[in-house]
Amino acid sequence: MSLLGLMAVSTAALAEITVISEPSGYTTLNLPAGASTFVGLNLVPPTAYAGTFDVVATDTTRRTITLTAAGTGLADNQYNTVPHFIEFTTPGSHQGLNTVIVGTYTSGNRVVVQDSLPADIVNGGTVTIRRLWTLSSVFGTTNQAGLTGGISSNSADLIRVPNLASGYDQYFYSTGGFTGVGWRQIGAGSANKANVPLYFSDGFYIFNRGAAKSVTVTGSIKTGPTQVVIMTGNNYLANLCPVQSDVSSLGRTLGNSGLYTGVAGGLTGGTSAENADLLLVPNGTGYIQYFYSTGGFTGVGWRKIGAGSTDQSFTPLPEGCFIVYRKGEPVMVKLTQGSF
């Protein structure tokens, strides 16, 4: 996956509210023939709202938010008919926290979010709202991206989205037959899955049955840190830094990724790989495995299994997607991001 071009664009958040200039561009997903490719969408959809907010005091669940930027005028269901997420951008401990919007209301210019907000998030901070990627927004409502379709999943390319409960949810573009025409999920018959969300911070993979092909995705570069929940087991994470260059010293390598901090809120290190969380990078035949060594034979710092005490902190995060294998309880991690 590579970023082919950058361009500055102006995006109207909501009519009468604000105009945001953010770095944007396009990225190419290269899909080798007959192979599964790990994918991370390192761009995000343009900003739909950027401004201030208040948490509604009467909602004891702390899930209702009033958007307070001058001129805001929301329509009912504006940010949830097609899935959107909200991100808290005020500098501080909660910068980069994000959650899905599940309700939008004209009355009071309010949105309801999926997760309860921490008690110390205060009124008057700033947020951004963006649409989530969906199968149709990435690959086209009628498969304009050119994935191989078929009358069944046995003859079509497969988009495999990790699901902690059951392994993977698998999607394909149906060209007819029993499941009709459109985006479908294996096991869900003819139900339309065009608006299935692809969460911006999560990776997935594509099994390409046909000849080598590529898919171009256009979007904006996400700025600022991103907070993600690392669950017990395998976590597929998108590398949100779209270019590996010297544009910024942040968010490029194992050492400055924010994955290990040595304090609460990060991966667990250990004196050996057996008692540490692992970061796995696919290499076509398996995985290169890294961990943070806290001492012992391998010393202190990022290490690669099988490479002894060689410092790996300058190893770049892979473009696209990588896997974190978390051995302990779920933990929140704040991933750093370059400046653009």
Residues 60-104: tens digit of each pLDDT: 999 999 999 988 999 999 999 999 999 999 999 999 999 999 999
78: containing domain: 47-130
Assigned domain for 291 exists: yes
Model confidence band, residue 285 (pLDDT cutoffs 50, 70, 90) = confident
Assigned domain for 14 exists: no
* Entry pTM: 0.88
Residues 265 and 176 in one domain: no
Phi, psi of 254 (to 5 degrees): -60, -40
306-318 mean pLDDT:
94
**How far is the C-alpha of 334 from the C-alpha of 227, rounded, in Å?**
4
Assigned domain for 10 exists: no
Model confidence band, residue 179 (pLDDT cutoffs 50, 70, 90) = very high
Complete edge-to-edge strand list for the sheet that includes strand 2-12: 2-12, 19-31, 213-220
> For residue 9, what pLDDT is reported?
31
Report whether 32 contacts 208 (CB < 8 A).
yes
Would you give the distance in Å from CA 294 to the centre of its chain? 29
Residues 92 and 151 in one domain: no
Residues 164 and 241 in one domain: no
Residues 206 and 224 in one domain: no
**How far is the C-alpha of 278 from the C-alpha of 269, rounded, in Å?**
9
> For residue 107, what pLDDT is reported?
95
**Higher-confidence position of 260 and 164:** 260
Residues 228 and 304 in one domain: yes
Domain count within the chain = 3
Residues 113-161: tens digit of each pLDDT: 999 999 999 999 999 999 999 999 999 999 999 999 999 999 999 999 9
Give the H or E element holding residue 138. helix 135-139
In this predicted structure, the answer to whether residue 5 has a pLDDT above a threshold of 60 is: no
> For residue 164, what pLDDT is reported?
78
Query: Which residue, of 87, 105, 130, is where some domain finishes?
Result: 130
Phi, psi of 337 (to 5 degrees): -140, 145
Residues 139 and 32 in one domain: yes
Residues 191 and 296 in one domain: no
Query: Which residue, of 130, 145, 168, is where some domain finishes?
Result: 130
Assigned domain for 5 exists: no
Assigned domain for 317 exists: yes
Residues 37 and 178 in one domain: yes
> For residue 260, what pLDDT is reported?
94
**How far is the C-alpha of 82 from the C-alpha of 134, rounded, in Å?**
9
In this predicted structure, the answer to whether residue 193 has a pLDDT above a threshold of 80 is: yes
Cα maximum dimension of the chain: 62
Strand partners, 5: 26
Assigned domain for 7 exists: no
> For residue 22, what pLDDT is reported?
78
Assigned domain for 19 exists: no
Residues 329 and 297 in one domain: yes
Residues 304 and 226 in one domain: yes
Phi, psi of 149 (to 5 degrees): -95, 175
Residues 196 and 301 in one domain: no
Query: Which residue, of 193, 219, 245, is where some domain finishes?
Result: 219
**How far is the C-alpha of 298 from the C-alpha of 310, rounded, in Å?**
8
Mean pLDDT taken over the chain: 89
Residues 231 and 299 in one domain: yes
In this predicted structure, the answer to whether residue 208 has a pLDDT above a threshold of 50 is: yes
